[in-house]
Amino acid sequence: MNLQMFLLLAAALFAVGLFGALSQQAVVMVMMGLELMINALVVAGAAFWYFLTPQAPDGQVFVLVVLAAMTVEMAMGFAVTTLLFRAKDADMTDMAAELRG
């Protein structure tokens, strides 16, 4: 495989994630779309690292840092979603928008 194929894969992942984040109303599905978009960035970054400077460990460090940040972000997102559902029985984005005040 070459760099263009990896970038095509990353673009496809990003497009599917963007569609999922914008078209869904369930909070969990929106979060899954955002995760797909972040995964696309990881694939593109790792592909650039592998094909441009494979001898430097910068790309591997980038992927590990982004994966750790994704883990924390998903844990916090699911915690907030669980609290919203328990407190107000809100599982859709429209319901969560009315929680001001």
Q: What does the pLDDT look like over 4-34, one tens digit per residue?
A: 999 999 999 999 999 999 998 888 888 899 9
Q: Which amino acid appears at position 8 of this protein?
A: L
Assign residue 8 the CATH number of its domain.
Answer: 1.10.287.3510
Tell me the sheet residues that pair with 26.
92
Instruction: Say if CB 40 and CB 66 are below 8 A apart.
Output: no
- Alpha-carbon distance of 9 to 87, in angstroms, equals 40
> Is pLDDT above 70 for 92?
yes
- Alpha-carbon distance of 60 to 94, in angstroms, equals 39
Sign of CA dihedral 83, 86, 89, 92: positive
The answer to whether residue 100 sits within a structural domain is no
The answer to whether residue 57 sits within a structural domain is yes
Tell me the sheet residues that pair with 92.
26
* pTM (predicted TM-score): 0.80
Name the domain count of the chain.
1
Question: What is the rounded average pLDDT of the residues 67-88?
Answer: 85
- Alpha-carbon distance of 49 to 47, in angstroms, equals 5
The answer to whether residue 53 sits within a structural domain is yes
